[in-house]
Amino acid sequence: MVERSVLLARKKTFGDRQTLTYKAVPSDLQQAGKAGDVLTPDVEIGSYRVTAVVDWCEVEFRFAKNTQFQHVQTVLTQHYRSDRRTYVDPVGAGPGYVANTFKIRFQEPRKDLLQSVLRALDDRFQVLGSTTTAIEISVDFYPRTPSDAARERMFGVLARSLYLPSDAWTGHKKEPRFAWGAKGKDSQLFAPDSILRGGVSQGARFGVPYDATFYLGQRDGPRMWRLMDKIIDRQRFADDFVQLNDEEKRVRLEVTLRGHEVAKVKLGDPEQLFGYNFTQLQRECFSMKLPVVPVGKDPISSVRRVIRERIFLRGGVIALTAKRVALRSKRKEVRNALVERAKQAGRRAGLPRVAAPGSEQYGLVSYIELSKEINDALSKLSRHWR
């Protein structure tokens, strides 16, 4: 069986660097774009424990009367017993932080606590309306036998297998990128002007570095994804952090939804969290794919295989999708130019249509084993909120 390996990247190297190996497994599918060899990581998915959690949610409340910030905070601390689990922001506050609209962020909310807080706020202030303005959901991967090497391999798998439609990561400040630290400078995963030539950025020649945070989507925008090796627990509303022990360390994939994207997934009302089926988020937010490469012995198939393998091992299915989108755009540009030239010459061009947008997934298949683990984790999260 043919194997391909990639040396995983880090900014700082301590000990031996890890190698991620992919095996070329013949596909069971025969339709166009699915036939060939599937590059499958040589990683035992069952050696990881996969969980899902609502990391935080932000709810905007409108009360019948104006009240002061501290009165709202008092109600919250009666339930959460810690001001680090909630954050209150008065909207359009006057002197003394008096307002009738407040945004409250609940850190690691639980069904029973959130229900009791919603009732308490209504009893005390008479809630006229409430809207969930933002929410963050995370999927965590814990090695069953804790080790840095196991987390590094899973980070490499996720960075290469995460599939998102191109509208999630194309456009100003939405491109795939990585950075070190919360305020680190962003480095692009691939250069848009070189993706048609199979290029990735110089800093990503070995893929997304394991000790960096991988971003897709605009920061503080409607949709943003982050992939990280989580070894510390930052207090979101404080300057300190907690160093996690080996059993708590994990690889985290999180999605943050804001504004209309929250309503789009039917979570615009905080009450909709209760009984919510989180598995419906998998297709748009936590989809995992593997690439199919040609198996033909002819020169063209051989070259195509080498190019697809190189792009995938460095930039993952996102980079393969970016190349397909760029190629489709280039073909459309050329086709339109030829059609216009034919019109000017008084004849029909007779050219085939450019592939439809749905063809972004051409040459990709579902990563079934990993997808099942994620689905099971989201199902368990759904049961916690019933």
> Residue ranges of the domains in the chain?
1-53+139-261+287-386, 54-136
Q: Is the distance from CB of 221 to CB of 174 less than 8 angstroms?
A: yes
DSSP class of 94: B
- DSSP result, 251-310: EEEEEEEETHHHHHTT-SSGGGGTT--GGGGHHHHSEEEEEEE----SHHHHHHHHHHHH
pLDDT score recorded for residue 56: 96
Q: Show the 3-state SS of 128-150.
A: EEEEEEEEEEEEEEEECCCCHHH
Alpha-carbon torsion (176, 180, 185, 187), positive or negative: negative
Quick one: pLDDT at residue 10?
Answer: 80
Asked if residue 270 lies in contact with residue 111, where contact means CB atoms within 8 angstroms, the answer is no
Q: State the pLDDT at residue 342.
A: 66
Residues in the chain: 386
pTM of the model: 0.89
Backbone CA torsion sign across 195, 30, 286, 359 = positive
Q: Where are the alpha helices (DSSP H) in 101-203?
A: 111-125, 148-161
Tens digits of residue pLDDT in 192-245: 556 655 555 444 456 788 999 999 999 889 999 999 999 988 655 555 678 899
Other C-beta atoms lying within 10 Å of the C-beta of residue 345: 9
Nearest to 14 by CA among 140, 152, 146, 154: 152
Closest by Cα among 146, 157, 158, 178 to 250: 146
Query: For position 172, what pLDDT does the model report?
Result: 77
Q: According to the model, what pLDDT value does residue 129 have?
A: 97
Segments in the chain below pLDDT 70: 1, 12-15, 81-84, 191-206, 234-240, 329-331, 333-340, 342, 344-346, 348-358
- Give the tokens for residue 135: 């929410």
Which numeric CATH code is attached to 54-136? 3.30.70.2040
User: Would you state the pLDDT for residue 149?
Assistant: 93
Longest dimension (CA), the chain: 79
Q: What is the CA radius of gyration of the chain?
A: 24
